Structure formats: C-alpha cells, structure tokens
Structure 1
Amino acid sequence: MNVNSAGLTVPFAIMCIVDLFGVFPIVVLPGPIIKCGWSGIPLAVCVFVVQVYTAVLLGKCWIIAEQIDPDIVNKNRYPYAALAELVFGHHVKRLVSVMLDVTVFGASIPNLIIAAYNLHVLGTKASDGNTDISLCIWLVIIGLVLCPPLWLGSPKDMKWLASISVFTVSSVCVLTWIAMLNTESEMYVPVPDPTWDAVALAYGILAFQFDVHPLVLTVQMDMVNKQKLPTVVVSAFFITCTLFVVTTVIGYMQFGGKLSSNLLDELPESRVLNADIMLVTLQICMSTVVSTTALFQNIEHYFNLSREFSWKRCALRSSVMMAAVLIGEAVPRFDLVMGLVGTLLTGPLMFILPPILYARIRSLSRSKATSSPRAGVCCYRTFPGHAKSSSTATEVRHLILPTLLVLAGVLATVLATLSAVREAIVYASFTPSCLMQMLGSDEKKLK
C-alpha cells in the first residue's frame, strides 16, 4: 500500500484534475464541436474514452514500477520521464521530458491570451470605451500577478487553490447557462456538415483541453493512496464532461452553427455576462498555476534546485512565466495554439506512449516475477481487482487495444498536425499579433 498521510485525498485529487480542465470545455469547446456536425459528439466521446483509459494505464505503470524498482519513488518530481527511463533508458527519458515540458508550457500560452482578452473587454466596457488598455499590456500584467502563486510547490500545497477554482468552474457553468438561455438569437444558423478542417481543429482542441497526462502522475505522487487514481480520473472526467455536454446542448438549441471558438463572444452584454467573464478569467489564472507544477518540478530537478522554498525557485518560475507572456505577444489566436499543441504533442503523450509503456512494463514485471523465488506472490497487482494472468492468450488480448491505440495515435497526430499547421499559416497572415501591431504602430509614427 502506497500511503502518504500528508498528501491528497481522493476529493482533493479530483479537484486538481477538474481545475486542470477548467472552464475551456464550457466556453471554448462547444463551438468547434458543433461545427463538426453529426461527427462532433462521437469525436468527443472517443477522445474522452482514450484519455481516461491511457491516464489509468499510466497510473498502473507507476504502481508496477514501484514493485520492479522501489527506488523509483525518489524520482517523483518527474514521474512520467522516470517511467520512460525505467522501461527504455536515459535517451527516451530525455525525449519524454522535453515533450512534457513543451506541452505544459504551450498550454499556458492560450490561458494567458484568453485571460488578457477578457480583461481587455471588461475594461473597455467598464469605462464606456474611454479607457482602452490593450491585450498586449494585460498579458504582461497577468504574467506578473501570477508569479507569486506559481512559487508554491506541488499540487498538495495548492489544495485551497484547487477548491476555489472548482467552485469558480461551477459558478461559470451556471452563469453561462443563464446567459445563453436568456439570449434571443436573431437568426439560427444550421449546423454544417462535417469537414476535415473542422474535425481536425476540434480534435486538436479536445486533445489539448483534456490532456491530463502531464499532470496525472504528479497528482498521483501526492495522493494518500496512489491506487485510487482510476477513481480520481474517471470522476474528474465525468464531472467536466457532464458540464461540457449540457453547455453544448444549450448552445446547439440556441445558436446552432453560429457559435465561435469563444462562446462568450456570442452573448449580449449583461451583468451576468460580465460576472461570467470575470470568473472565467480568475479560473484560467488559477488553473494555470496548478497545471504548470509538473513543468516547474521537472526543470527544478534538472537544475538540482532544492524541494524547499527558495529565491531560486521564485526566479526560475517567474522567468518561465514571462517567457510564456513573450510568446503570447507573438501569437495571433489562442485556438490555433490549442490546435497545434494538441495535435503535435498531445497525441504522442495520450495515444502512443502510455500503451507502449504499459505493454513493456508488464513484460518487465513478468520477468521479475518469474526470476523471483516468490514468483507466486510477486504478481503484478496494480489496482484492486487486477490480478496476474499466466495465460498467453490473455496477454495477447492485453496487447491488442494498446497496439490499435498506437496506430490510431500516429495517424491522428500526423494528419491533424498538418491541418493545424496549415490553419495557423492561413490565419496568421491576416490576424496580427501584439508584436505585429506594435511594430505597425511604430512604422506609422516614423512615417
């Protein structure tokens, strides 16, 4: 039994993952899914099922890894990479570390862009257009404000933050539903037939938004009972997916295919909407703090920084956040970042690596059990109800689904990434970023 009495209980672990998902499934996801036509909901269900299945596989891998090599618990600051090192060696560990760090870092950029955009809109409304603080300036302000909370340690140090964030997500749901139901749409736009570009973009956003894999092992390391991870993952997905489905159904009934990538843009101005936007911004900021812990812990391990609070931690985490702000200034649209990161990096982390790690670590476990004098006792029991099977046919069946997932993951990653890159090139040509706008204004002044 893996017990950490000072760690996360099941409810708090669920809150951490629900906080990671945040409000994007409510305000960003319904529009792209509806634009997929009849294929939208089946696509979402497929991605949800795969995400849950592979996240649970990762948790099982870690429990087996502790039985194979008990010293692996000392590598809990970078658990995903530690699994890769145990199974495939140091070179794969470095590759996985880079993929995880880039994924988490890339995920923080659209968070910052949306939060800055919301504050820009609210500031303009509050001053009746007299004060117009640009999105570019808000990006810098948000980055600076987020630095102190980022100096906290791991998810177990952020229980209060996760609790507030989940309450905020619930409040956003209620306010969004009220605002949508109170909106009288002037013209209902029929839902379009599915197109490859719409499906590819929706897949990228789905994979990006529900990619729990960079954080799930970090949460498991902090749990009181690591074997409860499947309960945590399934519960968190059920909660968030229920909120997403309800919002999507209301959006479909009220607006049809009219919804954009930011649902709030389609709602008329009201006090409810303003409060909703403010809470969305607050939750995005809190979610960014929790979701980036895996990145920071990995970097801190690389530089041999102490686990204890220090000025070096503050300097490193603040520097990374300001680098994200700088990139955010150069990005034209947040949904393009979601789609590109979701297709290029999330696919391997979600589809490909977990099944491969699980199949390989089961093989290592069987070898260890066979060579052990206690082979009859040392079966690779991972979670309750998961017992060793000596049947070759059973082992083959265990490998069929992981193999299919790997093949599907490779195909989906390649095709969706090509589409996302093309979309980014097309839209970037007429959607100027903050940096482009500033350069353009400087050129006008010179003239």
Structure 2
Amino acid sequence: MSEKGFDMIATGKGFSVFTATAFIIGEVAGGGILSLPSATAGAGWSGLAMILYCATCAGISGMCLAKSWLILEERYPEYRQGLTRKPFSTIGAFVSVIMNITRIGASTVFVILSAGLAVALTSSFIHLTECQWIPIVVAVFLVPFWLGSPADFWPVAYLAMLSTVIGSILLITKIIMELSKNGPSTDYHIDGIKSYSAAFGTILFAFGGASAFPNFQNDMKEKTKFPIAVVFGFIGLILLYLPTAGLGYGTFGHSVKSSILKNLETGTFITVINSFFFIHCLTVVIIILNPVYLDMEELLRIPKQFNWKRCVFRTALLALILLIAETFPSFGEIVDLIGGSTVAIMAFVLPPIFYIKLCRDNSGDWPERSVSIYHYIVFGVIVLSGFVGGIASTYATISNWTPLSSACYLSHNSGNSTK
C-alpha cells in the first residue's frame, strides 16, 4: 500500500506518541482485564489463543482507522486545520450512533465496576450497597466531564495507564500467591457453545477502544505517528492480558467470577489492588465518554468553548448513564452484550471496510493507493470474525438475559450486588 502523501499532513501542538500510547492502554484496559479470566473460563484454555487473535485483529483494525483518518486529512484540507474537534462527520450517522452506544455502554460498565470497588474499599465503615454507590460515583464525574477534548486532560490518560499497569501487576502477583497457597483448580469444564460464544464477546470488549482512536490521533502533534502508538499500545495490552487471564483461569478454573477481584481473599493486598483499579475506573470513564460528547455537541451546534450549554448537555447524558446503571447493574452481562454487538462492529467490521473504500477511491487528484490480495484476505478474515463471532456472542448473551430482574430501583433488588 502506497504511503505517498502522508507527509503532507500538517503537524502542530498536541501530545506525543508516548502520550497517545498511554491513552490507548488507559482507555482499553481496566474492566477488560478483570473480566478476561471469566472469558477464558467460558472458552477453556483456547480462550488464551482467542485473546491473542482478537488483539491482533483489533490492532490491525486500529491501524486501518488511523491510516483512514490520515487519508481524509490528505484529501480534505479542512480536516487538518488545527486540532479539529470532530473526526466523525465523514463516517456517517450510522457509525456515530453505533460509536455512541458502544461508549455509553462501556462507561456504564466502568460506573458499575467503580461502585463495586467502592463497596469493597469502604464496607468496614460505610454500609452502602453497590446500587447506592452508583449515583455517588456518577456525581464524582460531573465536573471533570465539563472539560473539552482529550488534549484538555492528558494527565488523566497517564493516571489511567499507570493505575491499570500497577494494579494489573499487583493482581497477577496476588493470583500467583493464591495459586501457590491453594494449588490450581481441578474444574476446567466448558458449559457449551453459548458459553464459548459469550466469551468471545467479553474478549472483544477488552479490545473495544478503537472508536476513540481518531480523537486521540487528532490531538497528536504528529498524527502520522499514531500507528506507532497503536502497536506499542496493543503490545502493552497483550503483556497485561495474557498472564492475568491464564493465571486467573488456572487458579480458579470454572468458578472464576465476572470480575476476578471477587475471587481473591480479602486483606491489605487486595485493598491496594482494588484502590488502583478504582482510580483507573474513575479516570478512564472521562476518556471513554469524551468522544460521545464531541460528536453529539457538533450535531447540536453547541459551541466549542466552555459554556453553560455544554454543562447542561453533558450532565443530562451522565444522568442517562445513571439510569442505565441502576436498571442493569450486572457487570458481566453488559460486557458480553456490548462486546458481541457494537464493539464487534466498531473494532472489527468497519475499520478495514473504511480503509479499503478510501484506497479504492481514486476519483480525485489524489495520490494513488492500492490494496494487495494479501491485505484483502487479512481484512476479510477480520471482518468475518467480527460479524460471525459478534452475532453468536450477542445471541448467547440475550438468550440468557432477564432484563429488569436486578434493577436497583425495584424494592426487592435494592441491596443487589453486581455479578
């Protein structure tokens, strides 16, 4: 594939490749790493190969998305004037809707996970349930959500990445300690094809951050180097994901919970681990939800500068997340559903299609690009995997789902814990 013309893209103020890598790891990891041992239990030991496969496919898709945006800037100069706030208008309404649903769902997952971690950290002196912690967690996000684009809060990305990396290393250490103490599990059975399919959705969710990549790339000083950040970011994710999934499944087997933190023995060590993941959840939601704000505010013609309209709109969207979290406070089910449906579309199906379409479009006076047979085969496998696997995972999740059965605002569920 010809890369001629990428040097035409103007560079300016923005963050570095390392910061972009921090955004990728900080945004993608966290809730995903906690649910991967459960996903591995659903797929058996082949789940580790599935994690590596999904990482490779999602990384290639992320590269496609990054190069697609560079092509758009090369062909349409209006998109390279400064740090434009909205790199989604050329994609279409359908993609914007799917992206927004994905990120609202992912934000809800982290709100629920934050509430569960808050209970674990404060249960000895604050006697609140997870359902009662959810509105408190949402309230904490209020003021930070009034900020602008990722460039306005780049330190948050470093905090999200550091808390994930440190928390993950401590988590792996704790699992090894429990493995040494209690020995490996003896129960590694798989429940069936539905369990295997749902596991695919969970793993997809763990790599579902591609829809925010254009925002991160758009705030870089040198946008052409974003593919480097994608490579570094996914290498980091694999180094975190595989040990956690393998050791977690090896230690707890089929009994591993949707969040592996709930399998670990209580004590000072697990409190420290919970604290790091709690910090991660609080920071990553700001990163995840920001592209939704930028997209919808452009549609509603809300000014770019800080203003009361932005505050009102973002507060209203936060209230929607609160309602969803209180209605479906099950961490595992939302992860499976979002991963198998919208994440599969955004992270696997659409990016290669966009890239092929842009490379084949030679209608203007643009540098000529072509896609080799090899790349067609690779992209075809990725798209087919996302399409078929996504349908199977979504069906497996919905067939076992009982909506409203655990809603917090129903009196008999007011003390529920997330599953």
Q: TM-score, normalised by structure 1?
A: 0.85
Aligned to 1:432: 406
Given that residues 32 and 260 in structure 1 are in contact (C-alpha distance below 8 angstroms), is that contact kept between their aligned partners in structure 2? no
Given that residues 26 and 244 in structure 1 are in contact (C-alpha distance below 8 angstroms), is that contact kept between their aligned partners in structure 2? yes
Aligned to 2:155: 160
Change (3 A) 1:199 1:144: same
* More divergent stretch after superposition (405-414 vs 273-282): 405-414
State the Cα distance separating 1:440 from its structure 2 match: 7.5
State the Cα distance separating 1:43 from its structure 2 match: 1.2
**What is the SS of the residue equivalent to 1:165?**
helix
Given that residues 3 and 223 in structure 1 are in contact (C-alpha distance below 8 angstroms), is that contact kept between their aligned partners in structure 2? no
Q: Of 239, 242, 247, which aligns to 2:244?
A: 247
Matched, 1:399 2:376: yes
Distance 1:37 1:398 in 2: 31
Distance 1:440 1:321 in 2: 21
Given that residues 51 and 242 in structure 2 are in contact (C-alpha distance below 8 angstroms), is that contact kept between their aligned partners in structure 1? no
Aligned to 1:264: 261
Q: Of 290, 298, 312, which aligns to 1:301?
A: 298
State the Cα distance separating 1:108 from its structure 2 match: 0.7
The letter for the 1-side match of 2:410 is: M
Matched, 1:109 2:108: yes
Superposition map of 1:386-425 within 5 A? 388=369, 395-425=372-402
Distance 1:398 1:253 in 2: 36
Aligned to 1:185: 182
State the Cα distance separating 1:187 from its structure 2 match: 7.3
Distance 1:70 1:259 in 2: 52
How many percent of aligned residue pairs carry the same amino acid?
23
The letter for the 2-side match of 1:278 is: S
State the Cα distance separating 1:402 from its structure 2 match: 2.7
Given that residues 20 and 287 in structure 1 are in contact (C-alpha distance below 8 angstroms), is that contact kept between their aligned partners in structure 2? yes
Aligned to 1:172: 167
Change (3 A) 1:301 1:397: same
**What is the SS of the residue equivalent to 1:35?**
helix
Distance 1:70 1:412 in 2: 38
**What is the SS of the residue equivalent to 1:277?**
helix
* More divergent stretch after superposition (313-322 vs 402-411): 402-411
Aligned to 1:444: none
Superposition map of 1:307-322 within 5 A? 307-322=304-319
Given that residues 109 and 324 in structure 1 are in contact (C-alpha distance below 8 angstroms), is that contact kept between their aligned partners in structure 2? yes
Question: Between Structure 1 and Structure 2, whose CA radius of gyration is higher?
Answer: 1
Superposition map of 1:12-91 within 5 A? 12-73=19-80, 76-79=84-87, 81-84=88-91
* More divergent stretch after superposition (16-25 vs 174-183): 174-183
Superposition map of 1:301-380 within 5 A? 301-364=298-361, 366-368=362-364, 372=365, 378-380=366-368
Q: TM-score, normalised by structure 2?
A: 0.90
Per-residue deviation, residues 155-190 of structure 1 (Å, max 9, x unmatched)? 111111111222211221232123223323377233
Question: What RMSD over aligned residues (CA atoms) do the two structures have, in Å?
Answer: 2.2
State the Cα distance separating 1:3 from its structure 2 match: 4.2
Change (3 A) 1:424 1:155: same
* More divergent stretch after superposition (204-213 vs 247-256): 247-256
Distance 2:75 2:406 in 1: 53
* More divergent stretch after superposition (27-36 vs 283-292): 27-36
Q: How many residues align?
A: 405
Distance 1:186 1:367 in 2: 64
The letter for the 1-side match of 2:43 is: C
The letter for the 2-side match of 1:147 is: L
Matched, 1:7 2:14: yes
Structure 1 residues without counterparts, runs of 5 or longer: 85-92, 373-377, 381-387, 442-447
Distance 1:297 1:70 in 2: 20
Distance 1:175 1:66 in 2: 42
**What is the SS of the residue equivalent to 2:301?**
coil
